[in-house]
Structures are given as structure tokens and as C-alpha cells.
Amino acid sequence: MHTWFITGSSRGFGREVALEALRRGDRVVATARSTDALTDLARTAGVDDDQVLALALDVTDAEQVATVVARAEEAFGGIDVLFNNAGIGYFAAVEESQEAEYRRMMEINVFGLVGVTNAVLPGMRDRRTGTVVNVSSVGGMRSFPAVGWYNASKFAVEGLSEALAQEVAPLGVRVVIVEPGPFATDWAGSSAAEVTPEDEIADYAATAGAQRRTFRQGAGAEPGDPARAAAAIVAVAHEDTPPLRLPLGAIAYDGIREKLDMVRDDIAAREYLSRGADETSTGDAA
């Protein structure tokens, strides 16, 4: 039996992972800004109420994070799996983006994730076991018009998670980066802000504007099944040697492989310039 601490549990991947973990026999500390949507988790999963602890949490409130993590550890004796799921989107070309909006997104997607992780890690280090599961995106490996700042937040999650994985591996703690493609989780719906009409720049209508409309029009009809994704996430979290990366959905899997091929092709074309930048190069004239 694992004890999960899940952020953003009110909907999407957070809720589905909570339900899947409960059905598997695990215990869940389900957190969200409001607990209103968390009261039915035990009943929906068909488990006893004592398997679930629902707590209000704003991941950007450091004092609240510390208090809620302490309550979770006191209630269940420790946290085995941290599922950093809380996050939001923002649709705008980079030049159109409003500072208040992208700073808010960074506070939630990056600094909130870091704050919760740092609050949970001491307990995992003491017990020399634990798994940190960070939700990134296919957009954490490759960028798209209209979501440059969202991409930036998820690229940050990727880099941070890679470094963290190397730091905590000798301590018995594992890190998994979940990289979903498009799923019906409301990511492109009401949870994501976008550029206001007065801030739109006509020159970006065919790139960022078109992509933004595609995201919005496809909201709710994405090919990914959140319940299937949750089953994969919970299964991997129970593995003794989970992967560092877990793409979810064919679009994410194929898209990430395509990005890796593009990077290889791009840098190979000027390998001589790259290698020639060293102080002593085999390509230098005698």
C-alpha cells in the first residue's frame, strides 16, 4: 500500500490518479484550492472514507504547503508518492503575453511544484524511499505557437526533474516525468487564460492565433483518455525501477521522438563549427 500526496486533485489527471490509486488499495491525500470537489472521492472509488484525506491547498502558499504536508504525514505516517499535478495553461504569442498572466502560471507550474517537492522530500530522505511524479507535457520537450510561456514552464519542470533525479537517486528516491499529449482534462478549456482581444497582434494571427483557436475548438474532444493515463501513472509509481520519462498518448510519444530527430539533424549540419569552438581543436590548421 502506498500513500499518495496529490496536488490539483479536483479534476483532470489529479482526480483520475486519485481514483485509480484508491481502487488499487492505496491511500490518498487529495489536495486542491477547494475541497468541494473532493468529498466524493472515496464513494466514487468504492473505498472506505479513511483511505482519503482531503485538504485545501494553494501550492503557491509556502506556509500552507508546509502545514498540509505535515498534516498528511501525521495522518498516514509518511508520503510514498508525490504527484505534482497542479498546473494551468495560458494561450498567447510570446510578444502578446501579459506579464501578470505568465508570472502567475510560472508561480503555479514551476515554483509551486518546487515548494511542494521540497516540503515532501525530507520525509522521503529520512525513510530512504519515495517517488516524485512531476507532470510535464509533450510541450516540455517541444514548443508550439501560442503556448511559449507554457512551454517555458514545462521545460523548467523537465530540467529541474532531471537534476533532482540525479540528486535523490542515491537516497532511494525516484523521479518520474509524465509527458502527456492532448487529453480531455480541461487544459484547453476554462482553466487556461488567453490573450485579450485588445492585446492580440495581427502579425501572429496565422501562427499563434491559429494554434490558439485549434486548442480551444478541440477542448473536450482530445484523443487521450485521462482514466487510461491514470492507470499508467499509478502502475509506474508502483514499479521498483520506474522510468525517468513517461510520455502518454501517441501524439506525445511520436512528437517527442520527432523532436529528438530534429535536434540531431539540426546540430549535425554544423558539427564542424560546434567542435571547432574548443580552444584546441583537431580541425585547427597546423
Please identify every residue annotated as catalytic: 136, 150, 154
Written as nine digits, the cell of 128 is 530512504
Measured distance CA(3)–CA(73) in Å, rounded? 9
Q: Which residues of 3-30 are buried (b: 16+ CB within 10 A; e: fewer)?
A: bbbbbbbbbbbbbbbbbbbbebebbbbb
Q: DSSP state, 197?
A: G
CA–CA separation, 114 vs 90, rounded Å? 20
Looking at residue 248, the DSSP 8-state letter turns out to be E
Cβ contact 158:113 at 8 Å: no
- For residue 246, the one-letter residue type is L
Half-sphere exposure of 138 (CA within 13 A, CB side): 19
| Whether the Cβ atoms of residue 133 and residue 81 lie closer than 8 Å to each other | yes
Sheet of 245-248: strand order equals 52-56, 27-32, 3-6, 81-84, 130-135, 173-180, 245-248
From start to end of 42-143, where are the E strands? 52-56, 81-84, 90-91, 130-135
3-state secondary structure (DSSP) of residue 93: coil
Q: Is the CB of residue 49 less than 8 Å from the CB of residue 153?
A: no
